Structure 1
Amino acid sequence: MNRRRGLFLVITGAICWGIGGAVSKKLFEQYAIDVNWLVTIRLLIAGFLLLSVQYCGKDSSQITGVWKNRKTALQLMIFGIIGMLAVQYTYMSSINHGNAAVATLLQYLAPVMIIIYLILRKHSVLTQRDLVTVSFALIGSFFLLTNGSVYQLSVPIPSIVWGILSALALAFYTLYAVPLLKQFDSLVIVGWAMIIGGFALSFFHPPWQMDFKSLTLEAYLYLVFVIIFGTMIAFWFYIESLQSLSPKESSLLGSVEPLSAVLTTVIWLKEPFGLFQWIGTACIIGMIFLLALNKKPASKYNEPHTNKKPIRVS
């Protein structure tokens, strides 16, 4: 049951994250919303809402308890800035310069980065499956970014750079969260991480510096979707899935995220997507599924952490 719950959480969160990226692109293009302001406001509001849910639950003492240990507090600060803020900012920047489909697919190179990291740290060994999946990732990325032409990129270079940085941030985010989740509920970790990230970015891009009167009702509805579903639900469910699944499994089973992002971008936003880009998409999604089918744990990072009861929200 715990595993099924984990599968439901990671897939639902991934769908929300993928669609949320396309909705964000709509806000950037149609309403000229600044990417920095959007990242700041979505982190602050979503983080506050998550901690509010935790406060209404049974163990509200964790909200302040996470700060009582100096080592844990430092880990949370690092996770909030280098993990949460970095994932949000790089992903949104990649969308802003390109589109949600490419940004999401580039971000999902993170599983390959996790495998490489585990091998280099000797927590895992290089297998034939790893070689095949890395090949899928490289071939998929080539087709995705060039659309089959070696003479010109089909995606702006800034979008590619931000997308690769987003993958690195997601790999760090996934691995670094594990020890924190052994001690505290996911709502506490994700909620505080969002507030830390949003607060840090507020020094450079204050959330109140926005012409709110220029936004229509439709724009506000898009903002609500991005904050609630594309941020709060997406990140909470992803981190919570680590209670039942390993970091590798959670990062891989989220393969519906790039699929939902591609479909939403092409069908709803009507972004052009070439034949070879579809082939590249298939390679990357195939790579993720191939890794997800591997049931045998390869390292200590592959073991799900179920030493504490799943969180109950009421």
Structure 2
Amino acid sequence: MGSSELRETAPGEGVHAGEAFFRKRFWRGIVCTLVGAALWGFSGACAQFLLSNYAITPAFITSARMLGAGLLFLIVLWATQREKLFSMLRDKLTMGRLAVFGGVGLYLCQITYAIVIGYTNAGTATVLQCTGIAFVLLFTCVFLRRLPRVRETVGLVAAMGSTWIIATQGDVGTLALPLPGLVWGIANGLSVAFYIMFPKSLFAEWGSFAVTGLGMLVGGIAATAVWLSGILDGQAGALPVMDAAGWSVLAVIAVVGTFAAFALYLHGVSVIGSVKGSLLGAIEPVSATVFAALWLGTAFTGADWIGFALMIAMIFLVTGEKPSMPDDAAASKSDGEDHVGKMASES
């Protein structure tokens, strides 16, 4: 009798333990997502510091941060996922797609972002980068042949309104943001949309960490080739003259603002889901703004703050209403119970 009762209650206890584990893992995912997005904002402030205080070019910063981060990803993959790494390297189709993902998507995202910082500042560049979410929505509607929903339409209006306020400071006749900065900012948004949408099937097949790692390495090689050629700035392979502080900040951008930021953010998104991950990513422009203001003394006007608020509102509107449960969780109850049971057994 007693042993039978134990057998009947054990599964229920296992489910409760699994649910507790799930909640703990979910909150760890939230923390990783927030920290990763905040580190992206921090890297923007670091790049602004270098561009403002040293004779350093966006091409060199992008090359150093992407190649450095790519090599760190490669080391981790070699140590933890060696078989998967070799399988990916042997697959010509996968490597071709990774070349597009890293050499076009990730590289263009990084170089255009650095260029915008040079024309404006880290906070403004990060907000303009968020227009990528609006472009994702537009391209999705085109591909699926549907009109934007009401919430999505309001989000797009907020995004465009934010860009206009930041660029003109509310005065139609005055372009407060340099035209090249605005143009490169839009290009940056388009590159963000590309690198978000392009690798979905690669993530499904190989996992986000491995794909991002090899993509970052490929992008770093492409960035280094561009820097050595001098195509962008006419300074072919010229190393900047910097003191210890400058080189230290550059190292921080590569290790903390690129490798750690991508690793933490993507891990968090894998736990809490893509929609909530994008939602929590709204902390990036706030982080860049705060770091630029506190560390670099960047002054922001009331119009800037209105623009920042509109952009963050756009992200909330487009990505969802309630960040209370994983958006990618359980298309059905049974799936959710299976995942909980699996996680409980893995713990």
1:47 corresponding residue in structure 2: 70
Deviation at 1:32, TM superposition (A): 1.6
Deviation at 1:49, TM superposition (A): 0.6
Deviation at 1:90, TM superposition (A): 0.9
Cα displacement string for residues 51-88 of structure 1 (whole angstroms, at most 9, x for unaligned residues): 1112222x211222112223212111110112111111
1:101 corresponding residue in structure 2: 123
Q: Is the 8 A contact 2:152 2:317 kept in 1?
A: no
* Counterparts in 2 of 1:258 and 1:304: CA distance versus 1, 3 Å: farther
Deviation at 1:253, TM superposition (A): 2.2
> Structure 2 matches for 1:104-253, cutoff 5 A?
104-122=126-144, 126-206=148-228, 209-211=237-239, 214-253=241-280
In structure 1, stretches of 5+ residues that fail to align are 297-301
Q: Is the 8 A contact 1:174 1:247 kept in 2?
A: no
Amino acid of the residue matched to residue 175 of structure 2?
L
Amino acid of the residue matched to residue 60 of structure 2?
W
* Counterparts in 2 of 1:125 and 1:248: CA distance versus 1, 3 Å: farther
Separation in structure 1 between the aligned mates of residue 148 and residue 226 of structure 2, nearest angstrom = 43
Q: Is the 8 A contact 1:104 1:258 kept in 2?
A: yes
Among 40, 44, 53, the residue aligned to 1:17: 40
Separation in structure 1 between the aligned mates of residue 69 and residue 220 of structure 2, nearest angstrom = 10
Q: Is the 8 A contact 1:175 1:247 kept in 2?
A: no
Cα displacement string for residues 143-199 of structure 1 (whole angstroms, at most 9, x for unaligned residues): 111111111112111111111111111111112222111222333212211221121
Separation in structure 2 between the aligned mates of residue 224 and residue 276 of structure 1, nearest angstrom = 34
> Structure 2 matches for 1:299-314, cutoff 5 A?
303=328
Aligned residues: percent identity? Answer: 28
Separation in structure 2 between the aligned mates of residue 68 and residue 284 of structure 1, nearest angstrom = 42
2:294 corresponding residue in structure 1: 267
2:30 corresponding residue in structure 1: 7
CA RMSD after TM alignment: 2.7
Deviation at 1:27, TM superposition (A): 0.6
Amino acid of the residue matched to residue 16 of structure 1?
L
1:36 corresponding residue in structure 2: 59
Deviation at 1:303, TM superposition (A): 4.2
Q: Is the 8 A contact 1:20 1:230 kept in 2?
A: yes
Task: Kindly indicate whether residue 318 of structure 2 is the aligned counterpart of residue 291 of structure 1.
Answer: yes
User: Does the residue aligned with 2:296 lie in a helix, a strand or coil?
Assistant: coil
Give 1 or 2 for the bigger CA radius of gyration.
2
Show structure 1 runs of 4+ deviating over 6 A: 304-310
Separation in structure 2 between the aligned mates of residue 26 and residue 202 of structure 1, nearest angstrom = 21
Task: State the TM-score, normalizing by the size of structure 1.
Answer: 0.87
Cα displacement string for residues 256-303 of structure 1 (whole angstroms, at most 9, x for unaligned residues): 00001111122221222111111111111112123344359xxxxx74
Separation in structure 1 between the aligned mates of residue 237 and residue 76 of structure 2, nearest angstrom = 28
Separation in structure 1 between the aligned mates of residue 119 and residue 75 of structure 2, nearest angstrom = 34
Among 267, 272, 282, the residue aligned to 2:309: 282
* Counterparts in 2 of 1:33 and 1:88: CA distance versus 1, 3 Å: same
Amino acid of the residue matched to residue 256 of structure 2?
F
Separation in structure 2 between the aligned mates of residue 52 and residue 191 of structure 1, nearest angstrom = 10
For these two proteins, the number of residue pairs brought into alignment is 303
Amino acid of the residue matched to residue 37 of structure 1?
F
Task: State the TM-score, normalizing by the size of structure 2.
Answer: 0.80
1:299 corresponding residue in structure 2: none
Cα displacement string for residues 111-161 of structure 1 (whole angstroms, at most 9, x for unaligned residues): 211111211111765221112111111211111111111111121111111
